[in-house]
Amino acid sequence: MHHILLLGGTTEASALARLLGAQGISATLSYAGRTENPRPQPVPCRIGGFGGVEGLVAYLREHRVTHLVDATHPFAARMSAHAAAAARIAGVPFVALTRPAWRMEQGDNWTGVAGIEEAVAALAGPPRRVLLALGRMHVDAFAAQPQHHYLLRFVDAPDAPPLLPDHHLVVDRGPFSVAGDRALLCDHAIDLVVSKNAGGTGAQAKLIAARELGLPVLMIERPAMPDRRELFRPEEVLDWIAHTPATERGV
Ligand code: 3Y8
Ligand code: NAP
């Protein structure tokens, strides 16, 4: 009898949850609890951290998890590192469900930077009008470059106003549309887009709109991920589950 723990928070995780629910495969989708109203799911959900690797190992054993699927966002590096370690310790079959990084296409004008700090440093210089579509968790780092006008997009309204002196906040959740993001860039006279290389389709609209409008993009590259097997389609994960026998639990 299978029981899948699915680490979620992405479009692909939700697509896999729909497949698991439709096939009646026992699964739990896990959220960190970063947003106020996470999308309802067709399988039971749990919300909140596990308490590090040890906490996740204990969870895998207590809930007799037979397969662990890491379908978290490519920037959720800490969760992914914990998942790989805990699966190995607990002897639970493990796979990642992720998406390829975006690559520059004809008409794109990208400057790649290694991380958030490098993106902040790259914004030194005269005032610009910047779409900072990185969510809420890293926004305060950009207070080091207060000269710009920042257009911010958060999933939820923040408890306190962001530390940026000149900003406009949009509260909205993806997936976003090209028409919507193109209108946003035009209405706010944006001249630079800052983006994580999230991959997938949910966050891609701003890049396509930037290409159409001839705007430059500061692209933040992904953090390193542990060595692991990676699949790119939810159907491939179903197939993996079907062909990966559940090891004896609790031994
Ligand atoms: C809590 C679950 C689904 C999943 C949808 C995807 C697409 C829409 C686009 C922009 C970029 C950003 C951000 C983004 C997108 C999907 C996906 C994706 C980017 C929810 C969700 C959770 C989160 C957490 C949130 C972070 C933030 C990042 C906003 C739910 C809606 C910027 C990443 O306010 C906060 O603290 C938000 C934090 C982590 C990154 C950050 O550093 O701020 N995602 N996003 C998950 C949990 O608790 O475990 O509320 O339903 C999920 C989705 N957001 O099921 O349809 O697959 O990536 N999420 C980025 O890519 O740069 C927005 O604005 O253009
Ligand atoms: P992170 O930095 O890699 O993880 C920090 C800690 O949050 C983890 O150690 C774990 O706590 C907890 N955690 C993270 N994801 C979890 C999950 N799915 N279920 C239970 N606990 C989780 O993660 P993050 O970047 O904050 O991302 C948090 C969530 O938002 C993830 O589900 C991710 O898929 C989603 N998300 C993130 C981004 C992004 O840009 N980072 C974008 C879209 C969606 P413990 O150590 O206590 O177990």
pLDDT band at 248 (very low <50, low <70, confident <90, very high): low
Question: In this structure, what token pair is assigned to residue 5?
Answer: 């723990």
Residue 76 Cα, ligand 2 centroid: separation in angstroms? Answer: 5
Please tell me the pTM assigned to this model.
Answer: 0.96
**Nearest ligand, measured from the Cα of 202:** 1
**Nearest ligand, measured from the Cα of 201:** 1
- Burial group, residue 178, by CB count within 10 angstroms (0-12, 13-18, 19+): middle
Residue type, 217: V
> Residue 88 in 3-state DSSP?
helix
> Probe ligand 2: pick from 12, 31, 53, 72, max atoms within 8 Å of CB?
72
pLDDT band at 169 (very low <50, low <70, confident <90, very high): very high
Q: How confident is the model over 105-132, as a mean pLDDT?
A: 98
Q: Which residue has the higher pLDDT, 152 or 251?
A: 152
Q: How far apart are the first and last CA of the chain?
A: 16
Measured CA to CA in angstroms, residue 35 lies from 72, 114, 136, 186 at distances of 14, 26, 10, 28
Where are the chain's structural domains? 4-100+224-243, 110-220
Question: In this structure, what token pair is assigned to residue 37?
Answer: 């109203």
β-strands 27-31, 94-97 pairing: unpaired
Give residues with Cβ within 8 angstroms of 21, minimum separation 6.
27, 41, 42, 43
Q: Phi first, then psi: what are they for 69, rounded to 5°? A: -120, 120
CATH class for the region spanning 110-220 = alpha beta
Distance CA 153, CA 223 (A): 22
> Given this model, what pLDDT does residue 1 score?
87
Question: In this structure, what token pair is assigned to residue 217?
Answer: 């993009």
Q: Report the atom number in ligand 2 closest to the C-alpha of 75.
A: 41
Residue 133 near residue 126 (C-beta atoms within 8 A) = no
Residue 29 Cα, ligand 1 centroid: separation in angstroms? Answer: 15
> Given this model, what pLDDT does residue 249 score?
52
Distance CA 182, CA 167 (A): 19
Q: Report the atom number in ligand 2 closest to the C-alpha of 137.
A: 26
Percent share of the chain, pLDDT over 90: 96
Residue 129 near residue 111 (C-beta atoms within 8 A) = no
Q: Phi first, then psi: what are they for 30, rounded to 5°? A: -110, 130
What is the DSSP track for 107-118?
T--EEEESSHHH
Domains 4-100+224-243 and 110-220 share a fold: yes
**Residue-wise pLDDT tens digits, 58-89:** 999 999 999 999 999 999 999 999 999 999 99
pLDDT band at 245 (very low <50, low <70, confident <90, very high): confident
Q: How confident is the model over 29-37, as a mean pLDDT?
A: 97
The length of the chain is 251
> Is the Cα torsion angle 196, 136, 71, 82 positive or negative in sign?
positive
pLDDT beyond 80 at 177:
yes
Q: How confident is the model over 158-163, as a mean pLDDT?
A: 94
The helix (H) or strand (E) run that includes residue 185 is helix 178-187
**Ligand 1-lining residues (CB < 6 angstroms):** 9-11, 14, 31-35, 38-39, 73, 133-138, 153-156, 173-176, 196, 198, 200, 202-203, 206
The correct answer on CATH 3.40.50.720 for the domain covering 4-100+224-243 is yes
- Residue bearing tokens 């890049």: 207
**Residue-wise pLDDT tens digits, 184-233:** 999 999 999 999 999 999 999 999 999 999 999 999 999 999 999 999 99
Distance CA 200, CA 203 (A): 7
Residue 89 near residue 53 (C-beta atoms within 8 A) = yes
Distance CA 198, CA 216 (A): 17
> Given this model, what pLDDT does residue 246 score?
81
